[in-house]
Amino acid sequence: MKKNVLIVHAHPEPTSLTRQLVETTKQTLEAQGHGVMSSDLYGMHWKAVFDERDFPARVDPGRLSFIEESGHAYSTGQQTADVASEQEKLLAADALILQFPLWWFGMPAILKGWVDRVFAYGLAYGYKGEGNRYRYGDGGLKGKRALLSVMVGGPEKDYAPRGINGPLEELLFPITHGTLFFPGMEVLPTHAVYGSARMTAAGVEEAKAGWQARLEGLFADAPIPFRRQNGGDYPDGHGLAAHVARGQTGLRAHVGETAAGEILALNAPRDL
Ligand SMILES: Cc1cc2nc3c(=O)[nH]c(=O)nc-3n(C[C@H](O)[C@H](O)[C@H](O)COP(=O)(O)O)c2cc1C
């Protein structure tokens, strides 16, 4: 069935691995008959910082409260045109793909700025004006899928379960869990291309083929089994019930087991 996919990508250099894989995304999804929308953040000169210019019609001109102004601008149709247009694309999408190089264990600032500005109060948080009632599995973006496609300069060994950097899926938890699952999206295990800083032509072809194969499962693969706030594991909407993930603390406690019994480091190499 035809679906709509929004690709948001962040790299100014057309020959970069990121941009080459963006082309693969477009070609693969179009060949599958899907509708493809894209946001080339550098090409659009996307405004990365979230500041007073985002609120031309303030509730309180005396003090800038981002949450209050975001909710007001969103609900009264007074957001800036660039933000409203990105929200329209996001709402029309069945899946969101973020493609970016790993910079300091996270996304480039321009992409973080897309999230900061586009994920408005009333849409991605404070859904229906009900505070935290809808979050982690419920919210304005429920029903959509999300997938990160990340170019990682370092070698896979550095991101192994005991690798010096820590497992990539744990490092990206603030994005997969705190940003994408939070407003209700189902998030697939991250797709990483390691050793991206020094790639041979053959390596690039291999990376394209691997990504193309991965895209085949965009609407079929099982998402990361993050625990849902309103699924029973968090009786008071804040902490895990005592019988859930007994003895576990930290990030891992918020991921249930897959049928195969795997947890968080779903795409981490096994024997490095
Ligand atoms: C500002 C900056 C920060 C980076 N941080 C990391 C990092 O945290 N971990 C890592 O493995 N590589 C890091 N790298 C290397 C990039 O991930 C690598 O250059 C990129 O993935 C290559 O892909 P590209 O051709 O699409 O730019 C960093 C590079 C830059 C420029």
The tens digit of pLDDT for each residue in 157-189 reads 999 999 999 999 999 999 999 999 999 999 999
Helix axes 81-92, 109-118, angle to 10 degrees: 80
Residues 249, 229: contact at Cβ < 8 Å?
no
Report how far residue 105's alpha carbon sits from residue 117's, in angstroms, rounded to the nearest whole number: 21
**Nearest alpha carbon, ligand 1 atom 19:** 197
Determine the residue of 103, 150, 165, 200 to mutate for testing ligand 1's pocket, defined as the one with the most ligand atoms within 8 A of the Cβ atom. 103
**Ligand 1 centroid to residue 122 C-alpha, Å:** 34
pLDDT value at 263 more than 90: no
Report pTM.
Answer: 0.96
Report how far residue 119's alpha carbon sits from residue 115's, in angstroms, rounded to the nearest whole number: 5
Lowest average pLDDT, out of 2-11, 89-98, 257-266, goes to: 257-266
Residues contacting ligand 1 via CB (< 6 Å): 11, 16-18, 101-105, 151-154, 196-197
pLDDT value at 76 more than 50: yes
**Ligand 1 centroid to residue 102 C-alpha, Å:** 5
Domain 4-254 is found in CATH 3.90.1410.10: no
pLDDT value at 224 more than 80: yes
What confidence score (pLDDT) does residue 209 get? 98
Res. 257 pLDDT band, cuts 50 70 90 = confident
Residues 165, 158: contact at Cβ < 8 Å?
yes
- What is the 3-state secondary structure of 176-218? HHHHHHCCCCEECCCEEEECCCCCCHHHHHHHHHHHHHHHCCC
